[in-house]
Structure 1
Amino acid sequence: MIQFHDEKEFEKITAEDLPTGTFEYCTFLQCDFRNGDLSGRIFVDCTFIECDLSNAKILECSFQTTRFDGCKLMGLRFETCKSMMFSLHLENTRLELCTFTGMNLRNLSANSCELYDVDFSGADLKGASLSGCDLRRSVFVGCNLGGTDFRNTENLVLNPEENTLTGAYFSKDGLEGLLTRYQLKIQD
């Protein structure tokens, strides 16, 4: 029988302490899910605050309108999650060595986040917001980036010939990352 958890708060627990099932409108505060197995759990309209999910197993997890605020997400393979209604909202969160290969990320919102070594290869980010993020060593190849908000980002490097950029938003300072492959010397 599937357990259903509605409007509950979980504070400072580990993955071993987290019950299985579906979580709706739940809050997870300062939880340590590092190296834990969260597979198969469904998170709907949930909020994770100052949690660490580094290297957690998220096979067949469902993140529907899930918010991460001040969290640490390292080594996560989001493409192993259920794709239906997948939607993440990230604030002041660090993603490192995560993959979103081939995913529909049109509902992705990441503001003031560190997205280091994140692989977005083949992802559909049309209309997504990455405003104010540090995109150090993140990979964008074969992506639909039409209408994506890259304003105020740092360390963005992508090849316009390998991605769709129609209608994407950039700050003047961020345009240099589109020209990196041409090895131009840009001066003020």
Structure 2
Amino acid sequence: MKNTTFENCSMKNVDLGHTDLESSSFDHCNLLNSIFENTKLKKADLSTAFNFNIDPENNDIQECSFSQNNLHGLLDKYKIKIKV
């Protein structure tokens, strides 16, 4: 599924584990309760995606794009607070 563009999608409860999503784009996508486990997200764009929970230690997020508004989706497991 490399280079796939997802636009304005509701991708709730989707299992994206072990999926190659390199250079894919998640434009305004709701990823609530979706599973990212050993997912290849290298160079993917999640800058406008929301409600995701991605563990940077268990997924390839090298050169992946995020916005400061959705960084908490990468840090939830650490139980830290991000003030904007």
What TM-score do you get using the length of structure 2 for normalisation? 0.93
In 1: Cα distance, 2:83 partner to 2:4 partner: 33
Partner of residue 129 from structure 1, selected from 13, 25, 36: 25
C-alpha separation between the residues in 2 aligned to 1:124 and 1:135? Answer: 16
Aligned to 1:184: 80
Q: What corresponds to 1:109 in structure 2?
A: 5
Greater strand share, structure number: 1
C-alpha displacement at 1:107, in angstroms? 3.2
CA deviations 1:90-128 (Å, max 9, x no partner) are xxxxxxxxxxxxxxx103210111110000000010001
Residue 118 of structure 1 corresponds to 14
Deviation at 1:185, TM superposition (A): 2.2
Deviation at 1:187, TM superposition (A): 2.8
Q: Aligned equivalents of 1:146 and 1:131: distance in 2? A: 16
Which structure 2 segments of 5+ residues have no match? none
Task: Give the match's secondary structure for 2:32.
Answer: coil
Correspondence 1:31-42 to 2 at 5 A = none
Q: How does 1:128-167 map to 2 (within 5 A)?
A: 128-167=24-63
Runs of 4+ in 1 over 3 A off after TM superposition: none
Structure-to-structure mapping, 1:1-188, within 5 angstroms:
105-188=1-84
Identity over aligned pairs, percent: 31
The C-alpha deviation readout for 1:35-72, integer Å capped at 9, x for no partner, is: xxxxxxxxxxxxxxxxxxxxxxxxxxxxxxxxxxxxxx
Say which SS state the counterpart of residue 114 (structure 1) adopts.
coil
Q: Which has the larger Rg?
A: 1
2:6 is paired with a residue whose SS is: strand
